[in-house]
Amino acid sequence: MSQKLFTYAEVAEHSTKKDLYVVVHDKVYNVSSFVDEHPGGEEVLVDVAGQDSTEAFEDVGHSDEAREILDGLEVGVLNRQPGDPVPKASKPASQSANSSSGGAGVGVGLYAVLVIGGALAFGAYKYLEMQKEKQV
């Protein structure tokens, strides 16, 4: 069975609370039936109605359960045309969750905190030593 192909313009026509389509990773979902149940509130979905909401979906860090619910709402695939908006987040969740660059960023940040903390501790030690010498 082949999936229905949607153009970006066709998806954009479904942008009301009662008729709401979104695109996530080039898959088209009819989330109309889920608007009232969405834990983040209906306005979150209405704000991205008829649009590519890949970035918004991934930025929130949805659970596996949320992804399963989304899978059940799939109605087709986006057939991108020249001139269509391009999603800012192009990595699927499985890639971004397993990406080593995220761990590397935390490691560099932790290293920077340790170096700065060590420098501050050394400065405080020297300051206290100078204060001790003034008292003598």
Using one digit for the tens of pLDDT, what is the confidence trace for 28-76? Answer: 999 999 999 898 888 999 999 999 998 889 888 888 998 999 999 999 9
What is the DSSP secondary-structure string of 20-72? EEEEETTEEEE-GGGGGG-TT-HHHHHHTTTSB-HHHHHHHT--HHHHHHHHH
Report the mean per-residue pLDDT for the chain.
83
Percent of the chain past pLDDT 70, that is, above it, reads 83
Q: Is the pLDDT of residue 101 over 60?
A: no
pLDDT at 100: 44
Q: What is the CATH number of domain 5-90?
A: 3.10.120.10
Residue linked to tokens 């082949």 = 2
Using one digit for the tens of pLDDT, what is the confidence trace for 1-26? Answer: 568 999 999 999 999 999 999 999 99
pLDDT at 95: 43
pLDDT at 2: 62
Per the model's pLDDT, the better-predicted residue between 110 and 36 turns out to be 36
- Residues 72-98: what's their mean pLDDT? 71
Residue linked to tokens 């009819």 = 30
